[in-house]
Structure 1
């Protein structure tokens, strides 16, 4: 229905007959400076989240893939943020990021009276980075588990053989771990890219798209159009554009699966 409505002019009365206007909404979308801005912000968000998420979760999985006393508790500790409600996390990080909050308090204590409090959520140059960090904190444990599953499927005999050939320490991870984990890296990169493209909760709870639209992403823009400005059909057109982006990423995932990528069930 949303697909149909993107080619219509829809008012508040959803029971009224649809007025088909063809590609007018899509043409408007292609020249809308705010939509182009939120599209670029979403792309920046993807670039700022996905590479650190992949590298961080893989590195964490390598460190925790050891038979050490209490290692299961340590793995559970890193996975705990995944279980924390987004609302709870947002409340905590709003306090941490506040000008009289934890980060500025620690910095002021260390740097003295000359320290000027930083507005992490009120500075357009820092707000998007602050929101990205919350996404990383929430998601890194989830992808760590995927990498752990892959690491535990690698035979220890390979590492022993590599050690006999002179490959030791981190060199073994370059020679064995990374090549064998390549399908899992591709999987995590694709699904984290899809998740980053559809980010909404962190933006809604932390910044409401501000300041100066610096954190307004495509999904938040669709929400604003539909539920704040009540421009339903135009919101559907923006949602269609987002659907096409996610579809491309999903097709990429399917293509990678066909080349040996492991399957991840919902």
Structure 2
């Protein structure tokens, strides 16, 4: 019996072993190599073995103004993009979870940006942000001065954020929608009896039950925000 018990405990790890092996070879080992190489230098000859320089690279990084500017931009990106991608898709998912006519069309429309190539999206948004683009034309109709969306250093980062948010809204909405459809309707009916209706029922029921999904979306969107490249 002890033998069967030990086999039963070992079985899940045997199933996980192939995936863990692949992850170790493709993620863990390269990460360890990168950590080791951060203490070495290839400045002199790329054909020779790297030379150990200790903390010299980190000292140069500490004094590099570009590094601090990059870090500042990354933190600003996180602070501005992640909360938006956590909150707004939840509202979109709540809307799309309603049994209304044409809702399937809205779901497809919201998710379309997620499947569009970033190259295509970048070209489209570049036209919108152009000096004579749609945004400046709308602003001109409202009597606003033209904005250099892609040339003004104070504005360009927020222009890129808009593309990231637009591209991710539908993707995170689908994640939330899967979580919403797992919440029993009886809970909302019981909440209505207790006087929790409208937006209040979502605060009392939806948000607490959706916490795992909120955390998941926050983590995924934060990782994506720190790896922004194609948008830029």
Q: TM-score range by the shorter chain?
A: 0.7 to 0.9
Distance 1:128 1:98 in 2: 15
Distance 1:80 1:168 in 2: 32
The runs of 5 or more residues in structure 2 that have no matched partner are 1-32
Given candidates 120, 126, 131, the residue that maps to 2:155 is 126
Give a deviation string over 1:120-177, Cα, whole Å, max 9, x none: 1111111111100000000111100010000000000000011111111111111111
Given candidates 141, 154, 167, the residue that maps to 2:183 is 154
Larger mean CA deviation between 160-169 and 6-15 belongs to 6-15
Three-state SS of the structure 1 residue aligned to 2:231 is helix
Summarize the alignment of residues 1-266 of structure 1 with structure 2, pairs less than 5 Å apart: 1-11=33-43, 14-111=46-143, 115-203=144-232
Kindly indicate whether structure 1 or structure 2 has the higher relative contact order, using CA contacts under 8 Å at least 6 residues apart: 1
Which structure would you say has the larger Rg?
A: 2
Aligned length, in residue pairs? 200
Match of 2:22 in 1: none
Distance 1:198 1:12, change over 3 A: farther
Distance 1:5 1:159 in 2: 56
Q: RMSD over aligned Cα, in angstroms?
A: 1.4
Structure 1 moving runs of 4+ over 4 Å: none
The runs of 5 or more residues in structure 1 that have no matched partner are 204-266
Distance 2:231 2:107 in 1: 24
TM-score, length-scaled by structure 2: 0.82
